[in-house]
Amino acid sequence: MWCLIQNLPLMIGDLVPEGNEHWELLLILLECMDFIFSPEVTVEESFFLKQLIKDHHSYFLRLYPNSHLKPKHHFMTHYPSQIHQLGPLMLVELVDRDVEIGTGSTTLVVSLERAQFLSRAIGVDLLSEIFVAKWVTVNGIKYCKNTLVISAKSEDSFPIFELIVYILCMGTKISFITAPWQTVKFDRHTHTYAVQPAVNPIWSVIPVENLYDHQAYHASKSYKEGEHLSYVSLRYRIN
């Protein structure tokens, strides 16, 4: 259900007119979920979530006057106080890093110049054997070639996305060679970030532990005719 409600705006959003009241109710709920499922929530954000939930419930009763709030709506009203007292509802598990590397890995053969670059970029010995994996799972999160990761946040608080081009494995060290993508805007109607490949991209090497957020994301195309942008739906709010 969580996956469906996250992707529903992108699946059918082009068929819903801007300003539709019923659609607005869904968007407010998605805003609530951004905080509820976030592994990091500030005290100020917990108070903001309280107001969001209040707005959602009031809007629901106004749109559907013959309906009553369900128990799950009542449970939601307690989330902000629980976050304020106990911390995020979705706690990050503090466990030793568990790494699983996809089968079919190949040894990376590079020139001496590139080997020196990789050695400086990822901090491994120049003579270390480097494998290129098809995929890798780190702490339960699967990273694949052509998936997006978040490397940082921009000055306007947009996530900075990078496309995984290669997955490098050097013993217990996992790094990604990535190509930058441009975050064009936040599209509220689909509750997604509109993105596109950067022009004249400069590849980077990012160790997995240096990611700003450790989720892997997929860029999807809209069903809107003539749309050239791709869209990314985040699992939660990125602080």
Do 111 and 187 belong to one domain?
yes
Residue 239 in domain: no
| Three-class SS of the chain | CHHHHHHHHHHHHHHCCCCCHHHHHHHHHHHHHHHHCCCCCCHHHHHHHHHHHHHHHHHHHHHCCCCCCCHHHHHHHHHHHHHHHHCCCCCCCCCCCCEEECCCCEECCCCHHHHHHHHHHHCCCCCCCCEEECEEEECCEEEECCCEEEEEECCCCCEEEEEEEEEEEECCEEEEEEEEEEEEEEECCCCEEEEEECCCCCCEEEEHHHCCEEEEECCEECCCCCCCCEEECCCCCCC
CATH number at residue 187: 2.30.30
Q: Is the domain of 41 the same as that of 107? A: no
Q: What is the model's pLDDT at position 14?
A: 86
Q: How many domains does the chain contain in total?
A: 2
Q: Is residue 47 part of a domain?
A: yes
Looking at the structure, tell me whether residues 68 and 122 fall in a common domain: no
What distance in Å separates the CA atoms of residue 31 and residue 77, rounded to the nearest whole number?
A: 14
Tell me which residue has tokens 């106080």: 81
Confidence category of residue 212, pLDDT binned at 50, 70, 90: very high
Say if 238 falls within a structural domain.
no
- Strand-pairing partners, residue 142, are 137
Q: Are 40 and 63 members of one domain? A: yes
Whether 13 maps to a domain, the answer reads yes
Q: In residues, how long is the chain?
A: 239
Which tokens sit at 147?
């998936």
* Same domain, residue pair 128 and 194: yes
Q: Confirm whether 93 is domain-assigned.
A: no
> Is 143 found in the same domain as 78?
no
Residue 92 lies in a domain: no
Same-domain check for residues 150 and 38: no
pTM of this prediction exceeds 0.75: yes
Q: Based on the domain organization, do 30 and 134 belong to the same domain?
A: no
Nearest-angstrom CA–CA distance, 127 and 118:
11
Q: Single out the residue in 53, 86, 119 at which a domain terminates.
A: 86
pLDDT tens, position by position, 18-49 = 889 999 999 999 999 999 999 889 999 999 99
Domain boundary among 86, 108, 126: 86
115 and 216 housed in the same domain: yes
Token reading at 216 = 């892997």
Is pLDDT at 7 greater than 90 in this prediction?
no
Residue of higher predicted confidence among 185 and 223: 185
The residue among 56, 86, 116 that closes a domain is: 86
Domain identity same for 80 and 59? yes
Q: 168: domain range?
A: 99-232
Residues 80 and 107 in one domain: no
